[in-house]
Structure formats: structure tokens, C-alpha cells
Homo-oligomer: A and B are copies of this chain.
Amino acid sequence: MFKVNENYLKLPGSYLFSNIAKKVAAFTEANPELKDRIIRLGIGDVTQPLAPAIIKALHAAVDEMGQAETFHGYAPDLGYEFLRTVIAKNDYQGRGCDIAADEIFVSDGAKCDCSNIQEIFSEDSKIAVCDPVYPVYVDSNVMAGRAGDWNPQTEMFSNVIYMPCTRENHFSPEFPKETPDLIYLCYPNNPTGATLTKAQLQGWVDYANRVGAVILYDAAYEAYISEEDVPHTIYECDGARTCAIEFRSFSKNAGFTGVRLGFTVIPKELKSGDVSLHSLWARRHGTKYNGAPYIIQKAGEAVYSPEGKAQLREQVAYYMKNARVIYEGLKSAGYTVSGGVNAPYIWLKTPEGMNSWEFFDHLLETANVVGTPGSGFGPSGEGYFRLTAFGTYEKTVEAIERIKRM
């Protein structure tokens, strides 16, 4: 008689954003007249249309697929050379980082890569995560049987090292007491919007090399960095080639949440004994993945064209204007706020006497604004709340006005 993977049953409730969607659906069903009034600043989904340079590249690629001479079947396992080359050049070599095109693995998005990467590591690997944290890192390890058991009191898994990120440590975690094998770091951070300085990130790279850990570095929000001394990639740090894997996404810098494209960088020096992680990940891609669509990879190439770059700078600036509206509006309304300067996320303390989900309900009912409860990202997120800058400008302004009036 077949049996299921019991680790799945250890996951508490459903995925955070599914829960939010259900809560909002229940609210609109009970209050149909408010349906069109709801402003969603919860999930990190973009609202601006694809830039003209990308639309042009997509149409051209579609036309190629309609002609036998230029039709493209299966893509190369690891991505088209044309895309891997412009990524290596623009995101790494242009910043003085030693990353080659063949160390880049093109995929359909950072969420898949972040959740699948744990597969190439030993089942008894000990993971460390920031707390609060993007739920995918922990949940994918729970499913793989690596997280131990869920403790509903502490809201933690027994075998995961949680590194609290709070106002007290400026949302920058300390090195854990227990030595981890895998360290998930995301900077600019989701959900707190915090960043690490180059010196701080160098500290993590040195730590990982010292203890023999791998840093799984999620740099999905890199395009939102506005300040000096904030590293754009972990490979700006010396020694990162022997301890770090980096995940990148086109979702937020180019509005590809519904287009699906990302990539993972694994330097060839990253090894356990003789075994390179690059070769294991290549094997996984070859066996369990069939490449990102040709037309989408052509859209990705257009992100790096001069027109694409100029148009996307404007798009990022548009969202960062929203971030300022949220940050300054909430501050003037008396909230304690952080993030929003190098990241599209604003992280606020919930008002006295209200926990994260209570504030969620309050905001939904009173202002008809949807945000994300901080506690959904981990126990240290309790008492915090995340708003995103990905709405339209008009709705963002309206949402903040309503919050001010609350």
C-alpha cells in the first residue's frame, strides 16, 4: 500500500500568501460592495506593464517560433548562451566580479531555484534562516524532512536555526551559536527591506568559509539598491566563490512575475571534497527541468539592452517613489517604519496591543488595504507588518491616506 511523504504533513497551515488570498476572498464575499475599494499592498506582485523593449523582443521571438527556419525546440539545459553571456557581463563582470557565463543556470524563477537547491545537499544538513524570512526556504526543507518538528508554541521547527532580525540588531542577524551547513540570506531583505553593508556581507562570507557552510544568497531585490556601500551581489566579497550560491530573479527588476525567468549562480570552485555543486545542479537541471521558454529568454536578453535598461530604471524609480510615499506617510502618521530605501518593502511595527494578524484584519476592515502580517514570516516577525511598493502610484497614495485616517 502506497504511503505519502509525511514531512508534508508537518507544514502548519497553508502557504502564507494562499492564506491571505483566502482571507481577502472571504472579506469581499461578505462585503461585495467594497470589492473594488480594496488596495493590495500584500503580495509582492508588480503592477506596471512590461517595458516596450521587452514587448518588442517578445513579439520578435514569437515570430521566430512561427517560421521553420527560426523555430526553437528544446532549449539548452542550462539556458541559452545569448542570455547567460549578457547576465555574466552586466550583473557580474561589469561589477568586477569573477563569474563566467557557464556558472549561470537560467530557470523559470528564483522561487523554484530557492526551493529546489536544498535537494543537492545531504538530508542531515542543518539550515539557518533569518527570522522573519521568506517562507519558501523553510517550507522546502520541511518537505525534504530536514526541519524536524513544528512547535506550535514557539512557532519554530525543532531542527532549524532561526537568526532573529529585529529593530534591536537593525534587522542584521548575528552569527548563530550552533554551526549551520546551509545559511539562507536575502539582501536587500524580504520582508524587512533591510540591507547589509559590504563589510557585513564580507563577514558572513568569511564566517561561511571558516565553518564550512554554504551561503544561499537570494538577491532578488538587487535592482532596488539606491545607496552606496550596499553590495549588489555576494561575489563582490572576497572568498564568495568557495562558499556562496546566488539566486536572481527578473520578477522585480523587470516586472516578470507573470513571465517567469530567473537564474542561479554556482561558481565552479564551490566543492565538497571532489564533488562540485555546479555539477550536481547541472545534473538536476538536465534530469528534472527542460529549460525556460525561448521567447522568455529573449525577453530576458532585452532587459540588458540599452533601451531595456533605460526603461527599467524608470520602472524601478516608479516603485521606489511608492516606497517613499509609504515610508514617509506612515512615519508622519506616527508608525515606526524601516526598509523602503534599498528595497521595495516597508516594514512597520504594528500599533501597541495589536499583533500582526490583528493589524491585518484591522487594515483590511478599516482601510480596505491588504498587507502581509509579519508573523507569517516567522516568530520574530510578530508585531510587524509588511507593505509593498508594487502597487500603482495612485492606489499607493490612496492607501496611505486611508491608513492616516484610521
**Chain A interface residues toward B at CB < 8 A:** 1-6, 8-9, 11, 14-15, 18, 43, 45-50, 52, 55, 58-59, 62-63, 65-68, 71-75, 77, 108-109, 111-112, 115-116, 119-125, 135-136, 139-140, 143, 145, 181-182, 211-214, 255, 257-260, 272, 275, 277, 280, 283-284, 286-296, 392
A128 CB to closest chain B CB, in angstroms? 12
A178 CB to closest chain B CB, in angstroms? 14
CB pair A109 B59 closer than 8 Å: no
A50 to B73, CA, bound (A): 10
14 residue pairs A–B, Cβ–Cβ below 8 Å = A2-B214, A3-B121, A3-B122, A5-B121, A5-B123, A15-B287, A18-B77, A58-B62, A62-B62, A65-B258, A71-B258, A75-B258, A140-B287, A260-B292
A161 CB to closest chain B CB, in angstroms? 14
A106 CB to closest chain B CB, in angstroms? 12
Per a CB cutoff under 8 Å, which of B72, B259, B288 touches A293? Answer: B259
B residues within 8 A CB of A140? 287-288
B residues within 8 A CB of A293? 258-260, 293, 296
Per a CB cutoff under 8 Å, which of B71, B115, B286 touches A14? Answer: B286
* Smallest CB gap from A277: residue in B: B4
CB pair B109 A290 closer than 8 Å: yes
Per a CB cutoff under 8 Å, which of B8, B43, B55, B74 touches A120? Answer: B8
A52 to B65, CA, bound (A): 10
A52-B66 contact in complex given A18-B77, A77-B18, A119-B143, C-beta closer than 8 Å = yes
